[in-house]
């Protein structure tokens, strides 16, 4: 069963937009998985329109992906899922990036951890966890093989990749993570944490997945 993905653009700070995604299996729009609720919980609630939040998934620890987390949990969202290596750090004032930006991190930690190869249920569908360290050590992408859809967090963007100069970032790990994503089918639609959608084929041709020249 493939998934349906709906983008909700939220404003973390003036001009600083993050893409939150509402994901459901194509046969049942009533049960939703919220990926990266970065800010503006009222906007996310409006997009949900009263539908049930099955779980929240965080692609990584950064504050611009978790700003609406506490509000959604208080409103009744059941489970908060993150990679084991970033799960606790969601609440870390420094490495979440919150304090350096004058903000407070969420008080709500992830309540369930996943690792590479695990599956996150989405109604009757499921997303496979691809651990993609580099932007942070616990960064992950979520992959729907059947629907050829990738939620890439801050690992892969339109014609570029995520920064590796934040705490726990690592340029070598980022290169290895991008090499893994380059092996996904070209038709895979990529929904990133910021900016517009892309595809694996486009990134292989023009972007961050281009084979590097031998040097």
CA distance 161 to 97: 18
185 contact partners, CB below 8 Å, separation of at least 6: 148, 200
β-pair type (112-114, 79-83): parallel
Nearer to Zn ion, 123 or 162 (CB): 162
Among 125, 154, 181, 191, binds Zn ion (CB under 5 A): 154
Q: Which region, judged by CB under 5 A, interacts with Zn ion, from 26-34, 59-67, 71-79, 113-121?
A: 59-67
Asked if 175 and 134 count as a contact pair (C-beta separation under 8 A), the reply is yes
Residue 97: CB minimum distance to Zn ion, A = 7
Q: Which region, judged by CB under 5 A, interacts with Zn ion, from 3-11, 20-28, 63-71, 142-150?
A: 63-71
138 binds Zn ion (CB under 5 A): no
Q: Is residue 177 classed as helix, strand or coil in its secondary structure?
A: helix
Q: Within the chain, where are the H helices?
A: 41-48, 69-74, 171-181, 200-206
Among 105, 193, 199, 209, binds Zn ion (CB under 5 A): 193
β-partners of residue 103 are none
62 binds Zn ion (CB under 5 A): yes
64 binds Zn ion (CB under 5 A): yes
Nearer to Zn ion, 62 or 126 (CB): 62
- Contacting positions for Zn ion (CB under 5 A): 62, 64, 154, 193
């Amino acid at each position: 069963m493939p998934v349906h993905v709906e983008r909700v653009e939220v404003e973390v700070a003036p001009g600083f937009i993050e893409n939150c995604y509402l994901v459901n299996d194509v046969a049942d729009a009533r049960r939703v998985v919220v990926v990266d609720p970065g800010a503006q919980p009222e906007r996310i609630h409006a997009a949900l329109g009263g539908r049930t939040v099955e779980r929240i998934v965080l692609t990584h620890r950064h504050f611009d992906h978790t700003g609406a987390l506490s509000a959604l949990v208080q409103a009744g969202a059941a489970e908060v899922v993150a990679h084991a290596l970033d799960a606790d750090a969601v609440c870390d004032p420094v490495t979440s990036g919150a304090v350096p930006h004058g903000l407070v991190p969420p008080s709500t930690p992830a309540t369930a951890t996943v690792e590479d190869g695990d599956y996150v249920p989405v109604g009757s569908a499921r997303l496979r966890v691809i651990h993609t360290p580099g932007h942070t050590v616990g960064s992950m992408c979520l992959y729907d093989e059947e629907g050829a859809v990738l939620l890439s967090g801050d690992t892969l963007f339109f014609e570029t990749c995520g920064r590796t100069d934040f705490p726990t970032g690592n340029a070598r790990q980022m290169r290895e993570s991008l090499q893994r994503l380059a092996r996904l089918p070209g038709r895979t639609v990529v929904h990133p944490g910021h900016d517009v959608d892309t595809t694996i084929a486009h990134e292989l041709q023009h972007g961050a997945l281009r084979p590097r020249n031998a040097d």
